[in-house]
Amino acid sequence: MSTLLYIESSPRKQRSASIEVAQAFLAAYRDKHPDAHIDTLDVWSTPLPEFDGAALDAKYAGIAGQPLTAVQSRAWAAIRALAARFQRAERILIGVPMWNFMIPYKLKHLIDCVSQKDLLFTFDEQGLNGALTDRRAAVIYARGIEYSAGSGTPAETYDLQRQYLELWLRFVGVTDISTVLVEKTFFGPEVDGPAREAAKQEARAIAATF
């Protein structure tokens, strides 16, 4: 049975554009893959371990090949359990709103926890090597305004949301990345509604072959 990891990073729930479009994606995906397991990781309801002193000590002890203390082992076990959800998934779907040109801090917390050597990447004399090869990812980006040439907020300057997430996905080995943009969600229902519908149609099309 295949596994799709769905990462939900908006706390708005019923009002969220990224969640609404992600749910359309998931419905279309289930139609094509009725036996697939959908593992939902909501960063607002999933307990995320603190990446604190004990976790950092465990990280560097592991890099140095040193045994972990009991405290370090407990901290690292929580991080390994979280990273295992990425390791088990053949497909990854991320719904993400833009916050201050970037991503919500809870999603960044998740990324900081799981992006560890020998979990989601390795490194050697040849450089960094992502561990999540042979995976596919789809990312739904929701933004309040438009980020494009001529908009006054060009993507190459302002859009750190997509730039960061896709850099991270490539870093951990995922190079097959599909994207859906939902923009102008601050402009009222007459603009927001059609934008969501167009994004849902695009999401369904991607899901059908995902």
Instruction: Please report the pLDDT score of residue 204 as a whole number.
Output: 98
Gap between the Cα atoms of 97 and 10, Å rounded: 6
State residue 151's pLDDT score: 86
Query: pTM of the full predicted structure?
Result: 0.95
Architecture category of domain 3-207 in CATH: 3-Layer(aba) Sandwich (3.40)
Predicted local confidence at residue 142, as pLDDT: 98
Measure CA of the first residue to CA of the last residue in the chain; give whole Å.
15
Predicted pLDDT at 77? 96
Query: Looking at residue 106, what is its pLDDT?
Result: 98
Per-residue pLDDT of the chain (210 residues; tens, 9 = 90+): 899 999 999 999 999 999 999 999 999 999 999 999 999 999 999 999 999 999 999 999 988 999 999 999 999 999 999 999 999 999 999 999 999 999 999 999 999 999 999 999 998 888 899 999 999 999 999 999 999 878 889 988 999 999 999 999 999 999 999 999 999 999 999 999 999 999 999 999 999 999
Percentages helix, strand, coil for the chain (3-state, rounded to 5) are 45, 20, 35
Q: Provide the H-helix boundaries in 1-47.
A: 17-32
**Domain assignments of the chain as residue spans, ordered by start:** 3-207
Q: What is the pLDDT of residue 125?
A: 84
